[in-house]
Amino acid sequence: MIDSMRSSFAPRIAVFAAALLFAAALGAQTQAAPNAQTPSTQSQEWKTYSFPADGFSAAFPPEPALQKKNVPTDAGNFELRAYLAQDGQAAVFVGVCDYGAAVAGRNPNTVLDGAQKGAIDNVSGHLTRGKIITFGIYPGREFEAENDTMHFYARIYLVGTTLYQTLAASPLGQPYAGATRFLDSFQLIARVSGAATP
């Protein structure tokens, strides 16, 4: 399904997610310091999909495609499992990466601050809004950022040693009406080792 996504926005949001992964590993080692709306695809119905292998569920407009990629960092190679769907001119994404011993025992705020800052820097963007959040007992960050072409909405959570990234992106100047709906739909579920993935 990933090959059917012809828009340039899907690759860009994947790059943004990869930037989060790079930054999280680095951040674990270094203290981090218009009215138009993008229309949703009317023919697509939002549904909640569950992914027990990665321990989450979320609502997507079409069913997301899963892409796996090994991401090299200073702390070693890690597998990013990216669930990506396109909604009109916007894209939505959940990324999952377990850093294991690379972040075990580290200050979660350092990891999250590094992830946020590094992600924005790596897409040549700037922060437009950000705050510290929690997801139940787990620490997180919520922020918006933009570069010359895109606006990003993001919430990231550190659950044990796993970084969950929930992202939505749309063309600059065209706010995505589905962003909050998507971000709010993310839920943790029981993680089942060896469960089937799409």
Tens of pLDDT, residue by residue over 154-164, are 999 999 999 99
> What is the distance between the alpha carbons of residues 8 and 26, in angstroms, rounded to a whole number?
28
> What is the distance between the alpha carbons of residues 5 and 23, in angstroms, rounded to a whole number?
26
CATH class of 13-33+48-174: alpha beta
Check pLDDT > 50 for residue 81. Answer: yes
Question: Has this prediction a pTM greater than 0.95?
Answer: no
DSSP string, the chain: -GGG--STHHHHHHHHHHHHHHHHHHHTTS-------BPP-TTPPPEEEEETTTTEEEEESSPPEEEEEEEEETTEEEEEEEEEEEETTEEEEEEEEE-GGGTTTS-HHHHHHHHHHHHHHHTT-EEEEEEEEEETTEEEEEEEEE-SSEEEEEEEEEETTEEEEEEEEEETT--BTTHHHHHHH-EE----TT----
pLDDT, residue 182, reads 96
Check pLDDT > 50 for residue 3. Answer: no
Work out the burial of residue 49: count CB atoms within 10 Å of its CB; fewer than 13 is exposed, 13-18 middle, 19 or more buried. Answer: middle
Per-residue pLDDT band for 111 (boundaries 50, 70, 90) equals confident
> What is the distance between the alpha carbons of residues 92 and 2, in angstroms, rounded to a whole number?
13
pLDDT, residue 157, reads 95
The residue that leads in pLDDT, 195 or 52, is 52
Contacts for 75 with CB less than 8 Å, ≥ 6 apart: 25, 28, 29, 99, 102
- Written as six digits, the tokens of 92 are 């939505």
The residues spanned by each domain of the chain are 13-33+48-174
